[in-house]
Structure 1
């Protein structure tokens, strides 16, 4: 897959998920139903695309231990988020109504460790990886500072909750798409 596609498609799919989430909530409840499932499938695809994004960012940052560690942190966050979204899709497909979903989510989250790994701490690692990687790349002058600022703003806005996802996706798109040029960037990152 062309890496530039992942850099553009991942944030765009976050925006698609955010839009479908808004549509799904128009009746006062979210899920189960087509908007729930389609939105979550879009977000799952976005999370899969963040893996090649982190691998490309690692190369852009010079492939050293710091870049590798940061990429691993981001990918672990993406995997934890993938687990969460997969659970959401399965619960949405199995539940007859919103009340049944609530009970299924309570059962899943009562499993020791699931809440921390899949719902609270784990997914944050995706954003932490993006933030650290883009700050490093900006300091090394491998990407323009405005890209790092857009990613940092996306991370900060994400703290507002899921209702802020349209802005998060847009800011990620500004920061990520298109893939920053690689010529000379790896050398600049390696020097820092």
Structure 2
């Protein structure tokens, strides 16, 4: 997402967007980022396996919301990269609005669940929310928002704690 944000800025330096390699490469990077967010959502689902029915339903619903929103994002990005695709299969306006919201809400629920389970610091979903809000306020803030989201997710990548694995790895001797 950082690459997309920076290339979006570069693309707009001449006062015109949508017409060059920075636009195309940026959108391919954005596409890849959204795919990785979908993979992250599935991984977060695997980290949170509540025994009770209500929390389990919440985790499943949040995962589905994130994935549905990711598909909506990917549809729009593909349309941005291909006018033919956009004209042949436009995403309905309602889905252009609700898809990103579901993506963000679903991902935040999955992160908050890990905070409640003491598997993630409380500032992590807060920073994701601030990053999403920055992007929502103005797309020119996308590089900043992307960096905030990246920093917020670093504990997932940096943790060597068993609690942040998918449960497939067990410490030696256990």
Q: Deviations over 1:153-179 (max 9, x none)?
A: 122222203112111111110111252
Give the C-alpha shift of residue 184 in structure 1. Answer: 3.3
Give the C-alpha shift of residue 51 in structure 1. Answer: 1.5
What secondary structure sits across from 1:184 in the alignment? helix
The 10-residue stretch of structure 1 (162-171 or 176-185) with the greater mean CA deviation from structure 2: 176-185
Which of 12, 30, 35 is residue 43 of structure 1 equivalent to? 30
Distance in 1 of aligned mates of 2:69 and 2:16: 27
Give the C-alpha shift of residue 125 in structure 1. Answer: 1.5
Give the C-alpha shift of residue 185 in structure 1. Answer: 5.5
**Structure 2: unaligned runs, 5 residues or longer:** 51-55, 166-174
TM-score (normalised: structure 2) = 0.81
TM-score (normalised: structure 1) = 0.74
Aligned to 2:72: 80
Does 2:48 align with 1:71? Answer: no
Does 2:143 align with 1:143? Answer: no
Aligned to 1:101: none
Distance in 2 of aligned mates of 1:159 and 1:35: 21
Contact 1:58 1:67 in 2 (8 A): yes
Contact 2:120 2:155 in 1 (8 A): no
**RMSD, aligned CA:** 2.3
Contact 1:74 1:127 in 2 (8 A): yes
Aligned to 1:167: 144
